[in-house]
Amino acid sequence: MTTKLFGEPVRRREDARLIVGQGRYLDDIGSAALAAAFVRSPHAHARIVGIDADAALDVEGLVAIYAYEDLTGPMAEPLPVLIPHPQLTSPRTGYPLANGEVNHVGEAVVMVVATDRYIAEDACDRIVVTYEELPVVVGVDAAREAEAAVHEEIPDNVAAVHHQETGDVEAALAAAPRTLSFTQYIERSGSIPMEGRGVHARWDADDASLRVYSSTQASTSVRAAIAAKLELSVDRVEVIAPDVGGGFGMKIVHPWPEELLVPMAAIALGQEVKWSEDRREHFISSAHERQQRQEITVGYDDDGRITALDVHVWHDNGAYTPYGIIVPIVTATQLIGPYVIPAYRVKVESVYTNTVIVTPYRGAGRPQGCYAMERTLDRIADALGMDRALVRERNLIQPDQFPYDQHLTFQDGRPVIYDSGDYPGLMAKLKALVGWDDAASLRSAAEARGKLLGIGMAMYVEGTGPGPYEGGHVQVLGSGKVLVSTGLTSQGQGHETVFAQIVASELGVPIEDVEVHTGDTRRFGYAVGTFASRAAVMSGNAVALAARGVREKALRIAADVLEADPGDLEIDDGLVQVKGTPGASIPLRTIAVLSNPLRYAFDEAAKQATQFAIPGSDDKPPVAVGDAPGLEHRDYYSPIRSTFASGAHAAVVEIDPATWEIDVVTYAVVHDCGNVVNPMIVEGQVHGGVAQGVGGALYERMAYDADGQLQNASFMDFLMPFASEVPDVVIDHQQTPSPLNPLGIKGAGEAGVIPGTAAIASAIEDATGRRIASMPIAPSQLYDLMRDENAERTMASAARTTGARA
């Protein structure tokens, strides 16, 4: 049986190509194209007084220079607010090129096009932009204090106040036997894909058509945006996402200024133009995420049960809000995780700062929410002297409570109703996997080696697979090849493999016959994009439905040929056969040929479908009413709401009290994403997520100074963990299928990153006995905390006989 592939650890079919350098990334396209480079703002906040390009005009190889004054029509208008929301009361977006004012270092001011990138940068160096500097706002606290405004007409710097509540929190807090209030911070990091952004555009003047390659997570919407901004009919524009070297969220933002300016120049110049982002540009002009200040008040009883939760978050959205308030909404709604919260109120104030925009980065607000909730539970446990796992267990939603309505509105505008899950099951597996109950002996053993050991855990629930829809197209060719297409894009996740597994299983064909195409508007024009752990859920189900449509048609045609009832037929290994009747069969590829009645026999196989070969009925048309030629089907999956995956992580850290270096020695993950299409790919996604979680907890931060200069805008100083810093990950699985979609699956792409900061903060706190209220934390900062006489100590550390001394 070759065709039961769903659920198997099929090796990633894209890897051989990508690993040996056969991938086709943006910069592999158009080697003869003109190159674009940008003059970007060196100031975080300034008025542009003048632009003098005279000195650049002498540069040999210069082709064109564009500034805001050169933009016309929709290009001269602000970039779109992609996701409007009633609570986003003061949205602001930039212009493709700065219009008189810059609001962060790195904002594009001038575009230069030259014969190559070196020359384009030479010309950029000679362009003199004169600025009048304005007061700079950096960080949530400065934005909140509002001594200066990022946008003059928004003096309080507040873009939006997102607010949801599920009960009378004031009354519940007043009635709570115990309460705790605290403030904590989490810093910025960023997606930092291996391949930055990039755009290549080619205008065919004779055909009046534009082809754009973009390293994007949303090719169909980039296409629509380009058509709108450049005033082209959408049918004249093709957008293709080639191999994309990682996105992790930031490439869902669109249209980036460069995605509009490069095609604009290609049309104007009648030549191919390409821009490939360099690393410094990526740091200062793409997108970041995660900085929040969180003020939390929780009411609970003597058993550790939460009775009320009141959360007030200040969320740094950077200079503009092109992606609306998605990250604030996700923080607000996913914060409460797998827990019963009788009364919950959340207010997220999304504030402007003179820094790079903040848009979803893997986890997309959830790591912050998880950090808020899980650290709250840790504090309750500490205050009560209870085991942190036990406090969590007492608050978990139970398996018989599904579907569980949290009475919140999610990022897709739909209710937050958990479709399925087994949270106590996750907890039980996690405790066993990490040896939670043996922590004391681990601690003693580490102390004997001169190390401080701590353990921490965190749980999460992740809404995945939001709509509105994705589509799939499956076509069987006369050669037997099965073409699968879906509009959403791939950034290396393994879509080619997973969608092929699904179609091969649904259709009953060898996976080798299946060829998958993604993110190409020439093949599939309707799509939303790859984000929010939605590709497997959305396009997975869409291609499954499309394959089922093909199967139904194939059986109908085969039934005619084999003179059998369609219900008596099966497809296996590419052969349609009558169940239990060996020999009564017909290859699927032959059905494909017969499905398309022909006049002309262009090859041997086609002869079978020509008009004198088919014994058709004289009183029926060759293609039946309501039918179509070809063995293909297009279908769409549109969910009523998101499906909610879940998981539990635990980290064990060892800290060297001589140097305060922090080593994550064990990282355990229990993961539930419903039915698993490919466990190897799911584990790979979890591993990658954990790596980014460790990075966010211990290494990565965007080090802005008070002037809004990003001090670590290179890989020398922005510290992504290397393989040497990422712990081995032990994984256990749980599968509670989703009742919401035909395949019973939930998203898995972001899960690994979500609890990292919370779990590692908890482990460090456990090891050191000092309250950890700001993450990430580096050894230098831990040292400061350890020798600070006023640093808060945990109750648990006071109860211990041994412990840390700075």
What is the CA 455 to chain-centroid distance, rounded?
28
CA 419, 337, 665, 774 dihedral sign is positive
Work out whether 117 is an interface residue with other proteins (CB under 8 A): yes
Cβ distance to other proteins smaller for residue 511 or 664: 664
Work out whether 256 is an interface residue with other proteins (CB under 8 A): no
Written as six digits, the tokens of 375 are 């650290």
Q: Which of 122, 374, 470, 520 binds other proteins (CB under 8 A)?
A: 122
Q: Which of 719, 732, 791, 793 binds other proteins (CB under 8 A)?
A: 719
CA separation for the pair 26, 255 (Å, rounded) = 16
Cβ distance to other proteins smaller for residue 724 or 801: 724
Distance of closest approach, residue 232 Cβ to other proteins, in angstroms: 32
**DSSP assignment of 569-596, as one string?**
EEEETTEEEETT-TT-EEEHHHHHHHTS
Nearest of 274, 255, 254, 258 to residue 266 by alpha carbon: 274
Work out whether 121 is an interface residue with other proteins (CB under 8 A): yes
Work out whether 721 is an interface residue with other proteins (CB under 8 A): yes
Contact map string, positions 681 to 700, toward other proteins, x by CB under 8 A: ------------------x-
Distance of closest approach, residue 707 Cβ to other proteins, in angstroms: 15
Cβ distance to other proteins smaller for residue 122 or 374: 122
Distance of closest approach, residue 530 Cβ to other proteins, in angstroms: 28
Distance of closest approach, residue 486 Cβ to other proteins, in angstroms: 35
Cβ distance to other proteins smaller for residue 387 or 661: 661
Q: What angle do CA 358, 360, 363 make, to 5 degrees?
A: 130
Work out whether 180 is an interface residue with other proteins (CB under 8 A): no
Nearest of 787, 749, 782 to residue 763 by alpha carbon: 782
Q: Which of 580, 600, 658, 801 binds other proteins (CB under 8 A)?
A: 658
Cβ distance to other proteins smaller for residue 117 or 633: 117
Cβ distance to other proteins smaller for residue 719 or 791: 719
- Side-chain half-sphere exposure of 308, counting CA atoms within 13 A: 20
Cβ distance to other proteins smaller for residue 529 or 721: 721
Nearest of 517, 513, 571 to residue 539 by alpha carbon: 517
Cβ distance to other proteins smaller for residue 101 or 654: 654
Cβ distance to other proteins smaller for residue 602 or 722: 722
Cβ distance to other proteins smaller for residue 25 or 182: 25
635 contact partners, CB below 8 Å, separation of at least 6: 471, 472, 542, 545, 546, 548, 549
Q: Are 226 and 232 in contact (CB under 8 A)?
A: yes
CA separation for the pair 339, 408 (Å, rounded) = 14
Q: Which of 8, 125, 165, 301 binds other proteins (CB under 8 A)?
A: 125
Tell me the one-letter amino acid at 377. L
Q: Are 670 and 787 in contact (CB under 8 A)?
A: no
In sequence order, what are the beta bridge partners of 793? 770
* Region near other proteins per CB under 8 A, out of 48-56, 331-339, 439-447, 722-730: 722-730
Helix, strand, coil fractions of the chain, as percent rounded to 5: 30, 25, 45
Distance of closest approach, residue 658 Cβ to other proteins, in angstroms: 4
Work out whether 783 is an interface residue with other proteins (CB under 8 A): yes
Q: Which of 24, 279, 407, 800 binds other proteins (CB under 8 A)?
A: 279
* Region near other proteins per CB under 8 A, out of 360-368, 627-635, 669-677, 713-721: 713-721
Distance of closest approach, residue 436 Cβ to other proteins, in angstroms: 29
CA separation for the pair 286, 198 (Å, rounded) = 11
In sequence order, what are the beta bridge partners of 570? 577
Q: Are 304 and 381 in contact (CB under 8 A)?
A: yes
CA separation for the pair 781, 253 (Å, rounded) = 34
Nearest of 30, 32, 18, 26 to residue 240 by alpha carbon: 26
Work out whether 624 is an interface residue with other proteins (CB under 8 A): no
CA separation for the pair 8, 42 (Å, rounded) = 52
Work out whether 572 is an interface residue with other proteins (CB under 8 A): no
Tell me the one-letter amino acid at 593. V
Distance of closest approach, residue 265 Cβ to other proteins, in angstroms: 19
Contact map string, positions 15 to 44, toward other proteins, x by CB under 8 A: ------------------------------
Work out whether 602 is an interface residue with other proteins (CB under 8 A): no
CA separation for the pair 645, 659 (Å, rounded) = 39
Work out whether 280 is an interface residue with other proteins (CB under 8 A): yes
Work out whether 765 is an interface residue with other proteins (CB under 8 A): no
Written as six digits, the tokens of 84 are 């409007």
Q: Are 351 and 140 in contact (CB under 8 A)?
A: yes
Q: Which of 141, 393, 447, 725 binds other proteins (CB under 8 A)?
A: 725
Binding site residues, other proteins, CB under 8 A: 117-118, 121-122, 125, 278-280, 658-661, 699, 703, 711-712, 714, 716-717, 719, 721-722, 724-725, 778-780, 783-784
